Amino acid sequence: MLWDLPRALSSFASDIDRHMALIYWICGIWFLVAEAVLLWLAVRYRQSAHAAAGWLPGDTRSTNAWVLVPAALVLVCDMVIEFDSAVVWAKVKETTPPAELTVRVQGRQFAWVFTYPGPDAKFDTLDDITAAGTLRVPVGKVVKFELEAADVLHAFYVPELRLKQDAVPGRRIPGWFDVLQPAELTIACAELCGASHTYMKGTLLALPPAEFDQWLAAQSAPPPSTPPTATR
Amino acid sequence: MSSSAAATDLHAPERAGDYTSTGLPTGRVAIWWFLASEIAIFGGAVACYLLYRLHHPEWAEQAAHTVNAAGAFNTVVLLTSSLSAVLAHHAAEQGDGKTAARWINWTVLGGLVFLGVKAWEYAHEIGAGLVPAKSLFWSFYFLLTGLHALHVIGGMTALYVVGRGAARGQHLGRVELAAIYWHFVDVVWIFLFPLLYIAS
Amino acid sequence: MDSPTATGSGHGAGHYVRIWAVLLGALVVSLVLGAITNSPWAIAIIFAVATAKAALVLAHFMHVKLEPRWIRLIGAGAVAVVGVFFIGLVPDIVYKFGFVPGGIQSAQANPANTVAKLPPDAGRGATVYATFCLACHQADGRGKNGTLAADFVSDASRLAKPDSELLASIANGRQANGLSMPPWKDALTAQQRADALAYIRTQFGRKP
Amino acid sequence: MHDHAPSSFLRRYVFSTDHKVIGLQYMFTGLAMALLGGFLAYVMRSQLAHPGTPVAGFGTVSNAEYNAIVTLHGTIMVFWVAMPVLVAGFGNYLIPLLIGTDDMAFPKLNLMSFWTFFLSTVVLILSMFVPGGASGSGWTTYPPLSAKPAFTGVGLGLDLWIVAVALEFVAFLMGGVNFITTAINRRAKGMGLWDLPLFVWEEVIASIIFMLSVGPLVAGALMLLADRNLNTGFFDAAAGGDPLLFQHLFWFFGHPEVYVLLLPALGILAEVLTVCARKAIFGYRLIVWSTIVAGLLSFIVWAHHQFISGIDPRLASPFSLTTILISVPFAITLFCYMATLYQGSIRYTVAMLFAMAMLAEFLLGGVTGIINGSAAADIYVHDSYFVVAHFHYTLFPIVFLAPFAGFYHWYPKFFGRHLNHGLGLLHFYGTIVFFNLCFLPMFALGMMGHQRRIADPNAFGYLAHGQHYQQLATWGAIGLLVLQIPFIVNIFLSLRKGAPAEANPWRGTTLDWAVPSPPPHGNFEAPPVCYRGPYVYGVPGAADDFVPQHMPPGPGAPTARVPDGDAAQLAAAGSPVA
């Protein structure tokens, strides 16, 4: 189970993994205890070992306690899990740390298109740089993204970063991630978006900051003859 | 899905197994549950309309194109037919099937007038190009009033069937059930009228 | 065992006519109010009047007052469920987190990209094809032999069409025999579309 | 007695208003659709194990066909197998028997509800054979994908799918009214609300939850049909609509719906566990109240399906809280069921084996629900195979293990014949082994990051090392399907060759065992009178180890009404409980 998890490459990935481990152990123990009790009851009170059954309808304060006490314990464990979940959720989804780079990610039927604000750091201006299919980001830096969908629902999903967020037409959903070491990761779509949903892939290239700045500069200084066009 | 299939009758239980554990005739218990599911359907549609309306204040000027006079007249028609429905139920409750049937016919006539005015309104609006696809307000307008009109037709068939039975003095208990359903259809219109017509 | 019927409340016919008159009066009030003012206060009052009318019909015409309490609970329960639904959706449908009022500008919509300035180039077309077209038409151009997208290789008629027709179906999308090609005019510049077609022509042959 | 029994074959078996015939019609329609749903699962799993290779019995699976198979498998299993078998099949057959009446409150409405359901089945199957293929937008059919034919390439197929589901809702609204009014108003004399068998409580609460939660989605279905055909913009962001509205509408119904399926399964369990363990249910009122509380809570948990689908992030924590809270009432119910086995004398009939297995498997399903319910963990597991594994570990025990337990338990009552015990054991052990083989690997796939509903896992490098899990799961699925054959053979073989069964083969106390097997048209000779609670087993001082509900009180037949005093003192006193 937990050992199947892919590498944790973003700063919040370890938080999510730790939270899942907390649930895994709490629920795992409850599961084993309950199964053991069930098995013991099934074997201990089978007909050949215990001919006459007893009259124990419960519904009295003392007998109800057998059930209400474990239920109270379940409630306590629920609260522990819920508190930890709220903390991690707030960190990942409700707050965005200061980011040097903002990228606009647009999902459309069966491809990802990324737009950098370009030198003027503002979107929807003529100097925007559009990269399709491959998103280049500087390693170790917080990247803020604005997620859009052009036609149907898509989901921006990178397993190693524990990053997943649906893109909804009509909305620009903010979010953030960071990549802790240079890597080439696959961007997948995690929301059914049509016949070729399974082939809707992109690539996330985490480059050392210097290399990234060099690439970005190369994009925004257009060679004299060709207008700014999409390049890989 | 009218309640005309209600098995029990106020006066002569038909079958031996026909008693009620709660003292209420089963038909009336059923009609309230049926209305609960209808409240969920109409409530869901009206809730969606209200949610969108709160997000789109500019719908007010589109709502201005609804014919308030026709809506108001229809409200009067439905209120009056509610009166005739309760009078029918009043008569049936005293065992007078004939009068009940007559009041029911008035109620059904009220329904027909309502549908007539509605048809004229739809023709007028579609003529002026205000079709469901024109804008989201009109999509909701046709969804809500269309769904309500279907229920008016359903209510009228139930009333007609029950009315014929009442004329022969049978199943007088069902008059009350059909009347309750008709009042529900009227109450839905009482809310639809301000929502779609006045609020502009 | 015959229960006191809910209507055995001794109401005379006159009682119902009086209720009916009150209902008409309430209607007139809300009509007048609606006509003279548009302020939110007026709207609130109109809905209060509508609720009062509904309550009157419920109490006097439907005789809900005479029903046992648990019957009233059924209707109230349904209204409560709709209320929970409404309140639960207000944050998302009324305040819409991340809503873009002007609508989403597609990535390539700025005006500089509507005319292909350069001659189509299969080299640039290869990257466009790999990013946008490969997901359906696949690397071998067979579109998983026609089940996912047009099969350029084995279906000769596809590429036999003139460039203008192919460019038009790339731009505006096309639906045929259960397959649907999305429109690309908002997502790809005219230059990219021309390059992609050049790549397809060279890769899968059939110059017209 | 009941009016004249119908004579002609048509009136007796096809258009019968007898609740028993209608119950069996629902069950066998559900069984047939389960075979169709199982075949679709086999095709899906074969495509996943070896993507692209032709599937025996189907041929090469194209992507659009794969999406259609995913959609239909989900839709059929939830709406055309779980609902008919659990809610309508067992409900129609058993409620009138358990409360001691001759038929449902509205037999003609009951007949209309089945034939509306049958029409919806025909429309659904028709939607698979129209040009453009069947719906390919998932059983949740989220717009905008489902709102424009161009997005999925499916035109009429999706419209027919929506009409079929809407018709099915209408059928179960009619059925729901029948169940609730019958349980409220036609109980045997002397049967108070606290004497109702738990199965009736669970079915009635399930019907109430269904009736109140389906309304908004019926409106949603109309809006979606309008979006598709009248190009209105209810869910089209460009026209001012909002795609999230449909998700809310769907899941506001969707989550209560899974409790509408769970409650009848818990009801079947309550009847089977008590009879086979020869013990009164532990904490009858505790179970009833926790079911009611869970029913209320089920209306405020729905957005846990949408934590990362674009809703306001501040909504996630409240819904995560209510979602985790709802595990408490069901924990109480499961603990009560386990406490019922304490001090029991368990007879391991095949029905009891399936009931115990349902408890054991459902525990894992419930426990993994916590990971999905916690917003933070859901960021990673949402729309992954972990979710698929979770809901199969909850839905398979609900939709198959519990009804199998019910079917083996009441088959003697339905047909007057016993099912073959040997074939039953083969079916039981085979189903349990292959069920776990099929779905346990999916937890690992989910943790690995395998996303749902993709036709070709080979397209993703990071999934390559998990492909053996997919193949393992496929062998599990094939084994699971093959091991249903003994069950089907057993059903039809035992109709003729099964050992004849008397009225009360398992020596149960509830009223359904007080009528001959199979029960005649009017069920009871004379309306029965109920003198005690439903589960009177092992009462000290009783003549036998069980006292049927309808047996008049006497020296060997205490009423065993437990006043609020402590049961231990009463038992210790040894005196028959007056």
From the list A85, A160, A197, which residue is nearest D320 (CB)?
Answer: A85
Residue B125, number of CB atoms within 10 A of its CB = 19
Judge contact between D83 and D68, C-beta under 8 A: no
Best to test chain C binding among A96, A105, A109 (most C CBs inside 10 Å): A109
A-C Cβ pairs (cutoff 8 Å, strict): 96
Q: How many domains does chain A have?
A: 2
CATH number, domain of A155, equals 2.60.40.420
Residues A152 and A67 in one domain: no
- ipTM confidence score: 0.91
User: Would you place residue C192 in the very low, low, confident or very high pLDDT band (cuts 50, 70, 90)?
Assistant: confident
| Residue C82 half-sphere exposure toward CB, CA atoms < 13 A | 24
Summary mean pLDDT of chain D: 92
Angle subtended by helix axes D385-396 and D243-277, to nearest 10: 40
Q: Are residues A152 and A76 in the same domain?
A: no
- Residues A162, D448: C-beta atoms closer than 8 Å: no
Q: Say if B and D touch: at least 3 Cβ pairs within 8 Å.
A: yes
Which of D349, D362, D451 has the highest number of chain A CBs within 10 A, making it the mutation to test binding with A? D451
Tens of pLDDT, residue by residue over D139-172, are: 999 999 999 998 988 889 999 999 999 999 999 9
Query: Would strands A201-207 and A183-189 be described as parallel, antiparallel, or unpaired?
Result: antiparallel
pLDDT on residue B93: 87
pLDDT in tens, D297-313: 999 999 999 999 999 99
Burial of B108 (0-12, 13-18, 19+ CB in 10 A): buried
Closest-CA distance, B165 to chain D, in angstroms, reads 17
Does some domain include residue D175? yes
Beta strands in chain A (DSSP E): 101-108, 111-116, 129-132, 134-138, 142-149, 154-158, 163-167, 173-178, 183-189, 201-207
Question: What local confidence, expressed as pLDDT, does residue C155 receive?
Answer: 82
Which phi and psi (to 5°) does residue D529 adopt?
A: -115, 140
CB distance D284–A58 less than 8 Å? yes
- For residue A195, give the chain D residue with the closest CA: D64
Give the Cα separation of A24 and A18 in Å (integer): 10
In a domain, D331, yes or no: no
C16 and B198 within 8 Å at the Cβ level: the answer is no
The interface residues of chain C toward chain A in range 68-107, judged by CB-CB distance below 8 A, are: 96-100, 103-107
Indicate yes or no: CB of D212 within 8 angstroms of CB of C91. Answer: no
C110: confidence class by pLDDT, cuts 50, 70, 90? low
Give the H/E segment covering residue C181: strand C179-181
Nearest alpha carbon to residue B3 among B167, B159, B129? B159
Show the domain range for D142: 15-196
**How many CB atoms lie under 10 A from the CB of residue D526?**
9
Using DSSP's 3-state secondary structure scheme, residue C12 falls into: coil
pLDDT value for D13 = 80
Task: Give B29-79 pLDDT, tens digit per residue.
Answer: 999 999 999 999 999 999 999 999 999 888 888 888 888 889 999 999 999
Question: In this complex, how many residue pairs, one in chain C and one in chain D, have their CB atoms less than 8 Å apart?
Answer: 75
Region class of A154: left (phi > 0), else alpha (psi between -120 and 50), else beta:
beta
Which of C100, C115, C131, C138 would you mutate first to test chain A, the one with the most A CBs within 10 A? C131
| Lowest mean pLDDT, pick from A140-144, B163-167, D554-558 | D554-558
Instruction: Give domain status of residue A232, yes or no.
Output: no
D65 Cβ under 8 Å from any chain C Cβ: yes
Where residue B140 sits, what CATH number does that domain have? Answer: 1.20.120.80
Q: In this complex, do B76 and C27 lie within 8 Å of one another by their Cβ atoms?
A: yes
**Structure confidence at residue D431 (pLDDT):** 97
Residue D212 lies in a domain: no
Domain boundary residue among D167, D196, D225? D196
Q: Is residue B152 part of a domain?
A: yes
pLDDT tens-place string over residues C21-42: 999 999 998 888 888 887 888 8
Q: Is residue A151 included in any domain, yes or no?
A: yes
Which of D374, D447, D569 to probe the A interface (max A CBs under 10 A)? D374
Q: What is the pLDDT of residues D461-511, one digit of tens each?
A: 999 999 999 999 999 999 999 999 999 999 999 999 999 999 999 999 999
Chains C and D physically touch (3 or more Cβ atom pairs below 8 Å): yes
> Cβ–Cβ of D213/C78 closer than 8 Å?
no
In this model, does residue D123 exceed pLDDT 80?
A: yes
Question: Looking at the structure, do residues A87 and A113 belong to the same domain, yes or no?
Answer: no
Q: Using CA atoms, how far apart are residues B89 and B86, in angstroms rounded to an integer?
A: 5
Q: Which residue of D has its CA nearest to A12?
A: D376
Based on the domain organization, do A87 and A192 belong to the same domain? no
Q: Residue A227 is nearest to which of C112, C127, C134, comparing CB atoms? A: C112
| A122/chain D closest Cα distance in angstroms | 24
pLDDT at C179 over 70: yes
Q: What is the pLDDT of residue D571?
A: 52
User: What b/e string do you get for D485-505 counting C-beta neighbours within 10 Å, with b at 16 or more?
Assistant: ebbeebbeebeeebeebeebb
In chain D, the percentage of residues whose pLDDT exceeds 70 is 96
Nearest CA in chain C to D319: C88
Reply yes or no on whether the pLDDT at C77 is more than 70: yes
**B22 reaches C (C-beta below 8 A):** yes
Q: Which C positions 116-145 lie with beta carbon below 8 A of chain B?
A: none
- Note whether C64 and C71 are within 8 A (CB): yes
Q: Is residue D138 very low, low, confident or very high in pLDDT (cuts 50, 70, 90)?
A: very high
The verdict on residue A225 lying in a domain is no
pLDDT in tens, A46-104: 988 888 888 887 777 888 898 999 999 999 999 999 999 999 999 999 999 999 899 99
Contacting partners of chain B (3+ CB pairs under 8 A): C, D
**pLDDT recorded at residue D565:** 43
Asked whether residue A231 is assigned to any structural domain, the reply reads: no
Q: Determine, for residues D63 and C144 on separate chains, whether the beta-carbon distance falls below 8 Å.
A: yes
Top mean pLDDT of B177-181, C145-149, C154-158 is at B177-181
| Degrees, nearest 5: CA angle B119-B122-B127 | 125
- pLDDT of the residue at C5: 41
Q: Which two tokens stand for residue C52?
A: 């009062």
Chain B hits for D189, Cβ within 8 Å: 19
d(CA A80, CA A84): 6
DSSP summary character for residue A56: -
pLDDT band of C158, cuts 50, 70, 90: confident
Average pLDDT, chain C: 82
Domain coverage including residue B38: 22-198
Cross-chain Cβ contact C100/A170 below 8 Å: yes
- CA–CA dist D578, D576 (Å, integer): 6
Least Cα separation, residue B36 to chain C (angstroms): 5
Residue A167 bridge partners (DSSP): A154
Cα–Cα distance for residue pair D235/D160, rounded to 1 Å: 19
Tell me whether residue B49 is in a domain. Answer: yes
Residues 147 through 166 of chain B touching chain D, CB cutoff 8 Å? 147
To 10 degrees, what angle do helices B26-55 and D198-229 make? Answer: 40
- Does chain D touch chain A (at least 3 C-beta pairs within 8 Å)? yes
Domain with A128 in it:
101-220
Q: Is residue B148 part of a domain?
A: yes
Residue among B37, B87, B197 whose CB faces C16 most closely: B87
Q: Is residue B48 part of a domain?
A: yes
Co-location of A181 and A202 in the same domain: yes
Give yes or no for residue D517 having a pLDDT over 60: yes
User: Are residues A165 and A117 both part of a single domain?
Assistant: yes
Q: What is the DSSP string of D30-72?
A: HHHHHHHHHHHHHHHHHHHHSTTSPBTTTB---HHHHHHHHHH
- On whether residue B55 sits in a domain, the answer given is yes
**Which of C3, C23, C57 minimises the CB distance to B23?**
C3
Whether the pLDDT of residue B5 is over 70: the answer is no
Are residue A115 and residue A209 in the same domain, yes or no? yes
Which of D196, D224, D256 lies at the terminal end of a domain, its last residue? D196
Q: What percent of chain C shows pLDDT beyond 70? A: 88
> Residue D63's closest chain A neighbor by CA?
A195
User: Distance (Å) from the C-alpha of residue C178 to the closest C-alpha of chain D?
Assistant: 5
Task: For chain A, give the number of residues.
Answer: 232
Q: Does B34 touch chain D (CB under 8 A)?
A: yes
Cross-chain residue pair D153–C179, CB shorter than 8 Å: yes
Q: Is B16 part of a structural domain of the chain? A: no
Q: Residue B131 burial (CB < 10 Å; 0-12/13-18/19+)?
A: middle
User: Which chain B positions have a beta carbon within 8 Å of D112's beta carbon?
Assistant: 1, 5
Q: Which pLDDT tens digit goes with each residue over B100-151?
A: 999 999 999 999 999 999 999 999 999 988 888 888 999 999 999 999 999 9
CB–CB contact C148 D151 (8 Å): no
**Chain C CB within 8 Å of residue B193 CB:** yes
Choosing from D132, D164, D196, the residue where a domain stops is D196
pLDDT per residue over D415-455, tens digit each?
999 999 999 999 999 999 999 999 999 999 999 999 999 99
- The pLDDT of C92-97, averaged and rounded, is 90
Question: What pLDDT band is residue D77 in, cutting at 50, 70 and 90?
Answer: very high
Look at residue C71 in the predicted model and tell me its pLDDT: 87
Say how many residues make up chain C: 208
Cβ of residue B55 closer than 8 Å to a chain C Cβ: yes
pLDDT of residue B14: 38
Alpha-helix residue ranges (DSSP H) falling in B56-171 = 59-63, 68-93, 97-127, 136-167
CA distance A136 to chain D (A): 19
Q: Is residue D457 over pLDDT 70?
A: yes
Q: Are A183 and A155 found together in one domain?
A: yes
- Residue B1, in any domain of the structure: no
Instruction: Please name the amino acid found at residue D315.
Output: L
Question: How far away is chain C from the Cα of D162, in angstroms, using its nearest Cα?
Answer: 19
For residue B14, tell me if it sits in a domain. Answer: no
Token pair in block for residue A135: 């998103």
What pLDDT is stored for residue C101 in this prediction?
82
* Predicted pLDDT at B100: 92
Residue A41, in any domain of the structure: yes
Query: Between B16, B34, B147, which is nearest D1 by CB?
Result: B16
D359 in a structural domain: no
B164 class by beta-carbon count within 10 Å (0-12 exposed, 13-18 middle, 19+ buried): middle
Domains in chain B, number:
1
CA separation, residue D279 to residues B89, D514, D542 (Å): 51, 19, 14
User: What pLDDT is attached to residue D278?
Assistant: 93
Looking at the structure, do residues A78 and A114 belong to the same domain, yes or no?
A: no
Could you give the CA distance from residue D168 to residue D21 in angstroms, rounded to a whole number? 19
**Which of A10-14, A216-220, D245-249 bottoms out in mean pLDDT, i.e. has the lowest?**
A216-220
Are A108 and A156 part of one and the same domain? yes
| pTM given for the model | 0.92
Query: pLDDT value at position D389?
Result: 96
**Residues A108 and A214 reside in one and the same domain:** yes
The yes-or-no verdict on residue D563 having pLDDT over 70 is no
pLDDT given for residue A222 in this prediction? 59
Flag whether D434 is in a domain: no
